[in-house]
Amino acid sequence: MTGSSLRVYDLSAARPDRWFEEVLDQSNDFKKACELIGRSTLGLALVAGARILSLTANPHSEDLTTVEFSIGQDPTVRQVPLSEFRETIGQFLLTPLQSWNLPDNPDVEALQAHIGGRYMLEASLFEVEPLELRHDLGLSEIALQFNELRHVLALEDFRDVLDERVRSELGLDRQDDNAIDLAVVDQAEDANAHGNWGATVALLNPWLSPISMLLRTGEAESLSEDVHGRLSVSLDLLGTAYANMGELDAANEVLRLGIQWAGESGKAGGLFLALGRASVAGEKHGEAIGLLRRAIRLGAEERDALPLLAQSLSAREQSLAAIVCNERARELGANAAELEALGAELQARLGEAWPRFQAWMSDPE
């Protein structure tokens, strides 16, 4: 948001950092409960205002584990299976929350109330770090950091992302792999093919924070290989779009996230190539060399990677290695015009050393 009415508030004092860790440090009972019903379930139960009186664990079946508790303003004590306990917590935490108006000079409590106290607690539990609140013309945005990536979300989107995480952690309304709308990735592929970078960003940027959060959950490991692959492709497309728009920092963040999703799969080579291309465009040639070599090792097309590698090696004064890559790219049918210009520059730089090297390579004895 822009304009003279923009107000920006630092959230460092409003964040309840490490609140859950402090609770666990103060009580062995909570540590034991954490072991029995899970860290997220216990943390979210506390956020919801649940008071756990007893736990009866069954080592053979979670469904037979029971929880005795009361919750909120209701003093009634209930004893229910663990699954029903999680559903009850979810009902409390997923109830729409009223947004309090933001005064001109808000204190910590006013900032927390405007964002939502329970959301601030959930963010800390899920290792999401709200950094700033930006307010302009009645609209609020949250700048946050998660998984070493920085995001800016509308306040409503911030809440929606955390609500989805709550559903995931409590096993509520869990969706299977087929529920992921892979058609959006197909649309983004078509947009990139036509150079419509803005369309790709509009299609895929809303996925960025949820994908980043999902990576840190156990649920990410249960997704099928096809879904992992398509999510990697979506991040490749988004990072490439950002790079072509000149937003190289955003491109680097997105592509590095894609690499984490891809692991050592066949998709990783293409992502390392895209990240290397963005580094070349940003003239980070030392970084690009390592990325492009990794891309080739992971199966990226040498015809695409070698011209970029030659360019970065040349920029780092590694002329012989650069011209070898340049010539190999020519043999593989890479863009001749670009290769000729760089090749001429490298030959002039090397002088007689290049023909001597060629002669030695043809007859090393």
- pLDDT confidence tier of residue 359, bands split at 50, 70 and 90: confident
Q: In the prediction, which pLDDT does 134 show?
A: 92
Residue with the bigger pLDDT between 47 and 327: it is 47
> Taking residues 1-17, what's their average pLDDT?
82
- pLDDT confidence tier of residue 215, bands split at 50, 70 and 90: low
Please check the confidence at residue 307 and state whether its pLDDT lies above 60: yes
pLDDT in tens, 112-160: 999 999 999 999 999 999 999 998 877 889 999 887 778 888 888 889 8
Q: In the prediction, which pLDDT does 121 show?
A: 96
Q: In the prediction, which pLDDT does 234 show?
A: 87
Positive or negative: CA dihedral 181, 185, 190, 195: positive
Q: Say whether 205 sits in a helix, a strand or coil.
A: helix
Q: In the prediction, which pLDDT does 207 show?
A: 74
Phi-psi region of 79 (alpha: psi -120 to 50; beta: other; left: phi over 0): beta
Please check the confidence at residue 106 and state whether its pLDDT lies above 70: yes
Q: DSSP characters for 47-84?
A: HHTEEEEEEE--TT-GGG-EEEEEETTEEEEEEEEHHH
pLDDT in tens, 170-181: 888 544 433 446
Topology of domain 177-362 in CATH is: 1.25.40
The dihedrals phi and psi of 163, each to the nearest 5 degrees, come to -60, -40
Q: DSSP characters for 263-328?
A: TTSHHHHHHHHHHHHHHHHTT-HHHHHHHHHHHHHTT--HHHHHHHHHHHHHHTT-HHHHHHHHHH
Give the closest residue to 115 by CA, choosing from 89, 137, 144, 149.
Answer: 144
Share above pLDDT 90 across residues of the chain, in percent, rounded to a whole number:
28
pLDDT in tens, 12-34: 999 999 999 999 998 888 888 98
Q: Say whether 209 sits in a helix, a strand or coil.
A: helix
- pLDDT confidence tier of residue 245, bands split at 50, 70 and 90: confident
Let me know how long the chain is: 365
66, 81 contact by CB (below 8 A):
yes
> Taking residues 218-239, what's their average pLDDT?
75
CA–CA distance, 348 with 343 (Å, rounded to integer): 9
- pLDDT confidence tier of residue 182, bands split at 50, 70 and 90: low
- pLDDT confidence tier of residue 1, bands split at 50, 70 and 90: very low
Residue ranges, comma separated, of all CATH 1.25.40.10 domains in the chain are 177-362
Q: In the prediction, which pLDDT does 365 show?
A: 53
Q: Say whether 184 sits in a helix, a strand or coil.
A: helix
